[in-house]
Structure 1
Amino acid sequence: MQKLHSNQRMSQIVIHNQTIYLSGQVGAIDEDVSAQTLTCLHKVQELLEEVGSDKSKILSATVWLKSMDDFAEMNVVWDEWFADTQPPARACGESALAHSDLLVEVTVIAAA
């Protein structure tokens, strides 16, 4: 098992048995839901590329929205980002996030 970008609370990347687990990725608190979603996905892409994977190898994703009222707007960005590859299995729900101005958080599990 390998853990990268770790601190006392969490690791950004955990690799175990050729499976990559990413911690939740968020955008900037001054961004709208579209921009936060795109920022999350870019962070996911950067982390996956760091360990030799990419978005086509994402197996499962969980999306947390501050409000399900943002579901359609988030999906526009999501659908565009996955337009060139088959999307993963996905769950999406509403949740209080770590900061009151965060609107979306994305976590993924991917193949190495």
Structure 2
Amino acid sequence: MNIIRHDMGPRFSEMVTVDLGAARLLYLSGQVAENPSLDITGQMREILRHIDRLLAMQGATKKDLVSVTIYLRTVGDYAAMNSVWDEWVPAGHTPARATVGAKLIDSEYRVEIQATAAIGPAP
């Protein structure tokens, strides 16, 4: 087994890859919008683009997601969040998902997304 930490900071890594030989697990830390002044749909689109980029670093795509947790500042954003999510997530490849109302670390953040993906062995 090999554990690789990507963009490691003093408190967390942006993504951690666990190479199990026959498969790799990618753990993405909680992703928030770079521009927190955006509304919920803008923040969602920004976060999902960032998740796409992180997955691509390891040759993965959103089809490889197996679990996602979405934290919403207010459950009143649930429908708007889902409208963006539904455009992004590929039909037939929906991951297990939980959505939670949560007090986020910065009051401007409307949403935070944590994800796990599973892919084949390293080339």
What is the TM-score normalised by the length of structure 2? 0.87
Per the alignment, in what secondary structure is the counterpart of residue 84 of structure 2? helix
Question: 2:4 is matched by which residue type in structure 1?
Answer: Q
Match of 1:5 in 2: 7
Following TM superposition, the consecutive aligned residue runs of length 4 or more in structure 1 with deviations greater than 4 angstroms are none
Per the alignment, in what secondary structure is the counterpart of residue 21 of structure 1? strand
Aligned counterparts of 2:31 and 2:98: Cα–Cα separation in 1: 15
Question: 1:79 is matched by which residue type in structure 2?
Answer: D
Match of 2:32 in 1: 26
RMSD: 1.0
Which one of 79, 87, 93 corresponds to residue 72 of structure 1? 79
Report the more deviating stretch, 77-86 or 2-11: 77-86
Question: Percent same amino acid among aligned pairs?
Answer: 34
List runs of 5+ in structure 2 lacking aligned partners: none
Aligned counterparts of 2:44 and 2:76: Cα–Cα separation in 1: 14
What's the CA shift for 1:47? 0.2
Report the more deviating stretch, 75-84 or 94-103: 75-84
Aligned pairs (5 A) from 1:38-77: 38-77=45-84
Decide which structure has the larger Cα Rg and report it. Answer: 2
- Cα distance, 1:85–1:31 mapped onto 2, change above 3 Å: farther
Match of 2:17 in 1: 15
Question: 1:5 is matched by which residue type in structure 2?
Answer: D
Match of 2:105 in 1: 98
What is the TM-score normalised by the length of structure 1? 0.96
Count how many residue pairs are aligned between Structure 1 and Structure 2. Answer: 112
Question: 1:43 is matched by which residue type in structure 2?
Answer: H
List runs of 5+ in structure 1 lacking aligned partners: none
Question: 1:23 is matched by which residue type in structure 2?
Answer: S
| 8 Å CA contact retained: 2:63, 2:90 | no
